[in-house]
Chain A
Amino acid sequence: MIIKNKAIVADDWTVLRLQENEAAESVQVAAGKVIVPLKVWQAQRGALQQRTEIGVWLASDERPEELQGDIGKFAVIAVDFPKFSDGRGYSIAFNLRARLGYTGELRAIGDVLRDQLFYMQRVGFDAFAPRPDRKIEDALKGLNDFSEVYQTSFDPKLPLFRRVQRKGNQTESSQ
Chain B
Amino acid sequence: MYRYDEYDQKIVDERVKQYSDQVRRRLSGELTEEEFMPLRLQNGLYMQIHGYMLRIAVPYGLISAQQMRMFAHIARKYDRGYGHFTTRQNIQFNWLKLQDTPAILADLASVQMHAIQTSGNCVRNITSDEFAGVAQDEVADPRPYAEILRQWSTFHPEFAFLPRKFKIAISGGREDRAAIYAHDIGLAVTKNAQGETGFRVLVGGGLGRTPIIGTEICEFVPWQHILTYVESILRVYNQYGRRDNKYKARIKILVKALGIDEFKRQVEADWADLKDGPGTLTREEVDRVASFFTDPAYETLPDHDSRLNEFKADSRSFSHWLQRNVRPHRVPGYAIVVLSLKKPGNAPGDATAEQMDFVADLADRYSFGELRITHKQNLVLADVRKKDLVSLWQEASAQELTTPNIGMLTDIISCPGAEFCTLANARSIPLAKLIAERFEDLDYQYDIGEITLNISGCVNACGQHHIGNIGITGVEKKDHDEWYQVSIGGAEGNDSSISKIIGPSFTFHQVPEVIERLIQVYLRERTEAERFIDTVRRIGHAPFKDHVYAADFDVQEEEVAGKHIVVPAQYDVPYFSPRF
Contact = CB atoms under 8 A, between A and B. Distances in A.
Interface of A: 84-88, 90-92, 94, 99, 113, 115-116, 118-120, 122-123, 145-153, 157-162, 164, 166-169, 172-175
A92 B161 CA distance: 13
A148 B18 contact: no
Given A149-B155, A175-B370, A115 B39 contact: yes
B493 interface: no
B260 interface: no
A90 B157 contact: yes
Given A147-B10, A174-B291, A174-B292, A166 B282 contact: no
Interface residues of B, number: 52
A148 B7 contact: yes
Given A119-B157, A149-B155, A88 B294 contact: no
A152 B279 contact: yes
A162 B284 CA distance: 10
A175 B64 CA distance: 9
Interface of B: 1, 3, 5, 7, 10-11, 14-15, 18, 22, 35, 38-39, 121, 151-163, 227, 235, 238-239, 243, 273, 278-279, 281-282, 284-285, 287-289, 291-297, 368-370
Contacts of A91: 158, 235, 238-239
Nearest to A94: B158
A121 B39 CA distance: 18
A119 to B, nearest CB: 4
Contacts of B294: 169, 173-174
Interface centre among A84, A86, A118, A146 (most CB of B within 10 A): A146
Contacts of A123: 157-158
Given A119-B157, A175-B369, A145 B14 contact: yes
Nearest to B294: A174
A94 B239 CA distance: 11
13 contacts: A90-B160, A122-B157, A146-B11, A148-B7, A149-B157, A152-B278, A159-B278, A160-B7, A162-B282, A167-B288, A173-B297, A174-B292, A175-B370
B527 to A, nearest CB: 46
A152 B227 CA distance: 11
Given A119-B160, A147-B14, A148-B10, A173 B243 contact: no
Q: Which of the listed residues A120, A161, A166 has the most CB atoms from chain B within 10 Å of its own CB?
A: A161
B282 A174 contact: no
Nearest to A145: B18
A164 B291 contact: no
A43 to B, nearest CB: 24
Contact of A99 (B10, B158, B273, B292): B273
Given A122-B157, A150-B154, A90 B292 contact: no
B151 A150 contact: yes
Contacts of A118: 157
Contacts of A173: 294-297
Please list the 7 inter-chain residue pairs (A to B) with the smallest Cβ-Cβ separation, ordered nearest first: A87-B161, A168-B291, A122-B157, A119-B157, A169-B291, A161-B285, A168-B288
A157 B1 contact: no
A94 B157 CA distance: 10
Given A88-B238, A159-B279, A162-B278, A146 B158 contact: no
A169 B3 contact: yes
Contacts of A145: 14, 18
A175 B38 contact: no
B291 A84 contact: no
B11 A85 contact: no
Contact of A90 (B163, B238, B284, B288): B238
A111 B11 CA distance: 26
Contact of B7 (A153, A158, A162, A164): A164
A113 B156 CA distance: 18
A63 B379 CA distance: 48
A144 B3 CA distance: 26
A81 to B, nearest CB: 9
A151 B155 CA distance: 9
A118 to B, nearest CB: 7
Given A146-B14, A164-B7, 14 more contacts: A90-B161, A94-B235, A120-B157, A147-B10, A152-B278, A158-B278, A161-B288, A166-B7, A166-B285, A173-B294, A174-B295, A174-B296, A175-B1, A175-B297
A92 B158 CA distance: 10
A167 B157 CA distance: 25
A147 B10 CA distance: 8
A87 B292 contact: no
Given A173-B295, A174-B296, A153 B285 contact: no
A90 B5 contact: no
Nearest to A168: B291
Contact of A148 (B11, B238, B368): B11
Contacts of B157: 90, 118-120, 122-123, 149, 153
Nearest to B383: A175
Contacts of B15: 146
Given A113-B35, A174-B294, A150 B11 contact: yes
Nearest to B18: A145
A119 B120 CA distance: 15
Contact of A87 (B22, B162, B288, B370): B162
B155 A146 contact: yes
A173 B1 CA distance: 10
A85 B5 contact: no
Contacts of B282: 161-162
A166 B235 contact: no
Given A150-B151, A150-B152, A175-B370, A86 B296 contact: no
Most A Cβ at <10 Å: residue of B3, B7, B158, B292: B158
A153 to B, nearest CB: 5
Contact of B287 (A116, A157, A160, A168): A168
B284 to A, nearest CB: 8
B1 A174 contact: yes
Contact of B293 (A87, A149, A174): A174
Contacts of B293: 174
Given A84-B161, A90-B157, A150-B154, A175 B273 contact: no
Contacts of B284: 161
A171 to B, nearest CB: 8
Contacts of A113: 35
Nearest to A156: B278
